[in-house]
Amino acid sequence: MSLLGIAWRSIRQRLFTSGLTALSLALGVALVVATLVIGGLVRDAFASGQGLGYNLIVGAKGSPLQLVLNSVYLVSKPIENISWRFYQEFLPAGARPDDAAGRYAGSVAKAVPICMGDYYRSFRVVGTNAAYFDSLTLGEGRPFTFASGRNFRDAEFFGGVLGSAVAAKLGLAVGDEFSPTHGADDGLVHDPFTVTGVLARTDTPVDRGVYVNMEGFYLQEGHAKPVPEGEAAEQTGPEAGGALEISPPKGNESPQATREISQATKASAPADPPQQAPLPFAQREVTAILVETASPGGMPPELLAMGLKTAINEGRDGQAAEPVREIRTLLDLFVRPLELLLLLVTTLVVIVSAIGILVSMVGSSLERSRDVAVMRALGARRSHVLTAVLLEAIILAVGGGLAGWLLGHGIVAAIGPLITTNAGVSAGFFSSAPLGEALLVPFLVVLAILSALLPALAAYRTDVAKWL
Amino acid sequence: MPEPVIRLENVRKSFAMPGGERAEILDVPGFVLAAGEQAALEGSSGSGKSTLLHVISGIMRPDSGRVEVAGTDITQLPESRRDRLRADTLGLVFQQFNLLPGFTALENVLVAMSFGSQPPDRARATALLEAVGLAHRLHHKPAELSIGQQQRVAVARALANRPRAVLADEPTASVDAAHQQQVVDLLKNTCTEHGVALLVVTHDPEVARQFPRRLKLEEFNRACRQKV
């Protein structure tokens, strides 16, 4: 019979105590594993928002972090809106009604507006234009892809695109209609939008968004900025198609899209003429602008971003924030310290559990002394009994650790859907924190050996004659 | 004359007392147990019976003298080699049987085998238990066995590593009178069958009387005479 077999039988002999010890260790390990994995998922969730194909976010003056959290991660509340006039400063000549390039247009490669404030069954509704999915990328140039359907066209005022998590959670598919609510889930119910496409999973916050054509968004009750009547009338004009001639917002690829909107709107006008007229510019605002800075002559976009950010922040119209910088700050200031604190607490739990091994083994040392003396009388060397006791602790630690590892992953799997819905990253039983988990096993074994050292030495020194 | 399995020469052993003085327990000028011989060592409580067995088995080192087991002076060996020699050449039977409670009858024999030079032999362990009438109790733990059955497991375990001698310390002390004879017969017959020398220490003259060689510890342990 091997020493491992002897150690295993010793555990079975004290099954209840051993079981409790292993259980307490398993609970500690489960907490550590769950903390490591969920911490990693949270980091992934934030990291996923750093590469969405734009490097600046322009919004109202206020907290840059709040601007990023709201615009990129679809959490927190919007600060305020910025004016349509300010938004147009980012557009090239062709995309503006006055055919003059905006003040910042030279530094901008892409500028996609977003409007927020509506919800659809707890998911954030983002009003934007087709450029969001047509020209922005998932970082590293990866385009958005659709699991089904397609992007809405700028001319489809009531078209909408769903993130994968939204479609999965709500069971919506292409062709289905949904009606956002104003300001909250129980707010005023808006007109229905039709799903034109469902995005393939991106493992980014985009998965949790409901994206609608901002032209339709603007037409909903409460979305038009109140302006003096004369001013509004001036813009829409008395001429019948006046409003249709005004370019709707569409980033920097306007002329073709403008024509498309005009034609589509005109084509659908007989069926629904009053609702299809776009909201006059004077009544429009945007919540934020997602900006990818230009890289003239191969210059890194970050260089222009610095200057553009400074120029915007020195002005009074709004602020610019770099999502990567803000998220790094958030991670460094809050997420990592919190994660470290949690890890420290859970590690202490494991250490306390390991002390449980010590207590358990010291508690049974009286009983063990007699067995050790008998084995020594039968010819066991001191090294045999020392090893057998250490192996007993290692079996408890590894057994408890394995059970805890399974339990920890079970916890992650159990709350996985919640994490996926709220953080936009997939979380399941096999989500892991490879480095932390790989270190956990040797950590447990070392801890077990340290805990068992005292009883093992006691066994080593057992006075055989005294116990026989 | 058969070669001696155990030979003691001028063995002395004393222990420190709480007051600081030393109490001499053993002072044995000479003792020999020949191969295959069966002997009873009779002594009253405190006469040094258990100490003598511990010295012979190498569990204790004497203060002086020579203790030969199978031709090797174990007083000159380091502890680990004494342990190995004990596992290979001596079988021990204890007063309380001292079976390991978490192990089955078969495992108790296998554990003893695992400390010897030869790898554990499950077939031999089974055969030993069958030979003492425990074929149907191989997988029972000590708590599930009667006193008599436990004693048989202890005897089988003592023979696990094909020892040269079995040392039994008061093997009848914890059994009732009805079972005493069974225990003595079991030890004598089993050791005879396996050609193993047997040294039984006992305080009971009735038990000692059943052995062809009967020694009174008080007669050859000079430390006892001094106390008297």
Question: For residue B88, is it within any domain?
Answer: yes
**Chain A partners within 8 Å of B57 (Cβ):** 377
The sign of the CA dihedral B170, B176, B177, B178 is: negative
Structure tokens at B43: 């002594």
What pLDDT score does A230 carry? Answer: 59
Q: Which of the two residues, A322 and A140, has the higher pLDDT score?
A: A322
Half-sphere exposure (CA, 13 Å, Cβ side) for A372? 26
pLDDT digits (tens, 9 = 90+) for A156-172: 999 999 999 899 999 99
Q: How many domains does chain B have?
A: 1
Question: For residue B17, is it within any domain?
Answer: no
Nearest chain B residue (CA) to A14 = B102
Dihedral pair phi/psi, residue B220, rounded to 5°: -110, 0
B57 and A381 within 8 Å at the Cβ level: the answer is no
What pLDDT score does A251 carry? Answer: 41
Whether the pLDDT of residue A406 is over 90: the answer is yes
A371 and B86 within 8 Å at the Cβ level: the answer is no
pLDDT digits (tens, 9 = 90+) for B49-78: 888 999 999 999 999 999 999 989 999 999
Question: For residue B224, is it within any domain?
Answer: no
Q: Which helix (H) or strand (E) holds A110?
A: strand A108-120
Among A55-59, A433-437, B40-44, B90-94, the range scoring the smallest mean pLDDT is A433-437
Could you give the percent of chain A with pLDDT greater than 70? 88
Q: Among B79, B115, B120, whose Cβ lies nearest the Cβ of A378? A: B115
A13 and B57 within 8 Å at the Cβ level: the answer is no
What pLDDT score does B179 carry? Answer: 76
A379 and B157 within 8 Å at the Cβ level: the answer is no
Whether the pLDDT of residue A327 is over 90: the answer is no
Residue A379 near chain B (CB below 8 Å): yes
Whether the pLDDT of residue A270 is over 90: the answer is no
- pTM, two decimal places: 0.68
Residue A392 near chain B (CB below 8 Å): no
Whether the pLDDT of residue A390 is over 50: the answer is yes
The sign of the CA dihedral B87, B88, B90, B95 is: positive
Q: Which of the two residues, B225 and B55, has the higher pLDDT score?
A: B55
Q: Identify the DSSP state of B18.
A: T
Largest Cα span, chain B: 53
What pLDDT score does A259 carry? Answer: 38
Q: Among B57, B87, B114, whose Cβ lies nearest the Cβ of A1? A: B114
A371 and B100 within 8 Å at the Cβ level: the answer is yes
The three-class DSSP label of residue A426 is coil
pLDDT digits (tens, 9 = 90+) for A225-263: 887 665 554 444 323 222 222 333 444 443 344 334 434
What pLDDT score does A237 carry? Answer: 34
pLDDT category, A179, cuts 50, 70, 90? very high
Most confident of A48-57, A287-296, A451-460: A287-296
Strand partners of residue B69: B6, B72
Tell me the residue range of the domain where B168 lies: 38-61+77-213
The ipTM is 0.90
Question: For residue B13, is it within any domain?
Answer: no
Report the 3 state secondary structure along A352-366.
HHHHHHHHHHHHCHH
pLDDT digits (tens, 9 = 90+) for B119-152: 889 999 999 999 888 889 999 999 999 888 898 8
Question: For residue B228, is it within any domain?
Answer: no
Question: For residue B194, is it within any domain?
Answer: yes
B101 and A13 within 8 Å at the Cβ level: the answer is yes
Q: DSSP letters along A123-155, please?
A: EEEEEE-THHHHH-BSSTTPBP-EEEE-PPPTT
User: Domain of B123: which CATH number?
Assistant: 3.40.50.300
Could you give the percent of chain A with pLDDT greater than 90? 34
Which residue blocks in chain B are alpha helix, DSSP H?
A: 49-56, 79-89, 105-114, 122-131, 147-158, 177-194, 205-208, 217-220, 222-227
Q: What is the mean pLDDT of residues B206-214?
A: 90
Residue type, position A393, single letter: A
Q: Which helix (H) or strand (E) holds A8?
A: helix A3-13
B98 and A10 within 8 Å at the Cβ level: the answer is no
Residue A461 near chain B (CB below 8 Å): no
Q: Among B99, B107, B116, whose Cβ lies nearest the Cβ of A379? A: B116
Show me where the domains of chain A are located.
Answer: 3-46+329-467, 56-321
Q: Which of the two residues, A330 and A265, has the higher pLDDT score?
A: A330
Chain B nearest C-alpha distance from A402 (Å):
25
